[in-house]
Chain A
């Protein structure tokens, strides 16, 4: 087969990606809850080679400058901190500051928006919930993994939430020709992009959703936020991309739900032995 122009990693040879996945395949997910003893809730989530730690403190009394605004508030405050370790990128690349730059601040706001959508903050009037995210290793879609890890940490902390906030990313490669575009609306779209696919010329859409299970066969997802990066995308392709990413969110929810239930069985077994 003749090699096309463009990124050689994204060659569509028998529909296999550079890391051996099919276009609709999610990277391997492994998670642990309760990794820190001193935090109220904590979770470690690994999706492919992307590793994220999340800790939750609270609800507790507000401290610092947010305490002044608390006197008028009737709802609680969610405080998020998004931090990327200086060693988390590839070989030779080192960040100068783990947090506080423009990109981290933007992701802090998006993460806070996603968490406020699932926590019933009226229950925690005049209180504050702190969520700290530490990205240990970056291999693409690290914001999506951070949102999933924060959800697991909230569950471990025992904070009542409406549902899981599941994030997933989808990437459109740049080497899609117009012929493919006419045939399939989602032609060339890749679920759960890794670092190489994210850095290639194209478009990456990251969404956070609430995949609410209506019954056994049907899932109705509501979108919390969507974030696009890269070059321009034609509007006619957005709906197909969105729907495909929402379907992937449902699969991730099933995986995380199995992790939580396994943690519950282990925890409940320990408690029953103690009694």
Chain B
């Protein structure tokens, strides 16, 4: 039933009758025995066991929202003894157009020695971190975890404003003054090595 050219619909356009055979799907609504479209876009008909599901898809790509299990890039904004607040910037390789709030609790920083974690020795405000999204437990806030070797701080600046280089999994060194600062460092492969392997 799929034609060569897509069927274009506009909001409020009546698509077909609603009965046992034709079911309203995503992007459509049913009213007074008929199926209407909610989007300005294309119509898709999905056939399954002698029933047809009518769907309407809008042309703009839907907004990407972080989902549990995604690797995200975040900016640390606030650190205290129990948690760190972050602004989620990217999901994977996609930059988000809106800002989402994330929270990283003390127990989620490391997989080992959870009782001895000190937040100010793991993160500082302004650090860029890699984290994984946990299932959401609060409204408006995403739970994050860095309890993996590949997660943690990837970009940090020292007090003098120079970028720091990771020297071990717990320390970073200032490239200007050689001062070492404690961080929860992410085990990230450097870009030149990765490019060399390609």
Which A residues form the contact surface with B (CB < 8 A)? 40-41, 59-61, 71, 120, 126, 155-158, 160-164, 210, 212-213, 257, 260-261, 263-265, 267-268, 271
Contact = CB atoms under 8 A, between A and B. Distances in A.
13 contacts: A60-B98, A120-B29, A155-B40, A157-B60, A158-B59, A161-B12, A162-B11, A162-B29, A163-B11, A164-B12, A261-B8, A265-B8, A268-B59
B38 interface: yes
Contacts of A161: 11-12, 38
Given A60-B98, A61-B98, A158 B10 contact: no
Contact of A162 (B12, B63, B100, B140): B12
Contact of A160 (B38, B101, B139): B38
Interface in B19-67: 27, 29, 36, 38-42, 58-60, 62-63
Contacts, number: 66
Interface residues of B, number: 26
A222 B80 CA distance: 56
A160 B59 contact: no
Interface of B: 6, 8, 10-14, 27, 29, 36, 38-42, 58-60, 62-63, 97-98, 100-101, 139-140
Name the residue among B8, B40, B59, B139 with the largest chain A CB count within 10 angstroms: B40
B142 to A, nearest CB: 11
Nearest to B42: A268
Given A61-B140, A261-B10, A162 B39 contact: no
Nearest to B11: A161
A126 B41 CA distance: 26
Contacts of A163: 11-12, 36
Contacts of B6: 268
B8 A71 contact: no
A128 to B, nearest CB: 11
B12 A212 contact: yes
A68 B101 CA distance: 16
Contacts of A265: 8
Given A61-B101, A261-B8, A264-B41, 14 more contacts: A40-B60, A40-B97, A155-B10, A155-B11, A156-B60, A158-B39, A158-B62, A160-B39, A160-B58, A163-B36, A164-B11, A164-B12, A260-B40, A268-B42
A124 B85 CA distance: 25
Contacts of B29: 120, 162
Nearest to B101: A61
A156 B58 CA distance: 9
A212 B12 CA distance: 7
A158 B60 contact: yes
A271 B98 CA distance: 24
Contacts of B39: 158, 160
Contact of A257 (B10, B27, B38): B10
A61 B100 CA distance: 8
Nearest to B34: A214
A160 B12 contact: no
A126 B98 CA distance: 15
B59 A267 contact: yes
A128 B60 CA distance: 19
Given A61-B98, A126-B139, A158-B58, A264 B8 contact: yes
A126 B40 CA distance: 24
Contacts of B12: 161-164, 210, 212-213
- 8 tightest Cβ-Cβ pairs between the two chains A and B: A163-B12, A160-B38, A158-B60, A158-B58, A155-B40, A161-B11, A264-B8, A60-B98
Contacts of B62: 158
B7 to A, nearest CB: 11
Given A160-B11, A160-B38, A164-B11, A264 B98 contact: no
A160 B40 CA distance: 9
Contacts of A40: 60, 97
Nearest to B13: A213
Contacts of A162: 11-12, 29, 36, 38
Name the residue among A41, A260, A264, A265 with the largest chain B CB count within 10 angstroms: A264
A126 B65 CA distance: 15
B6 to A, nearest CB: 7
Contacts of A213: 12-14
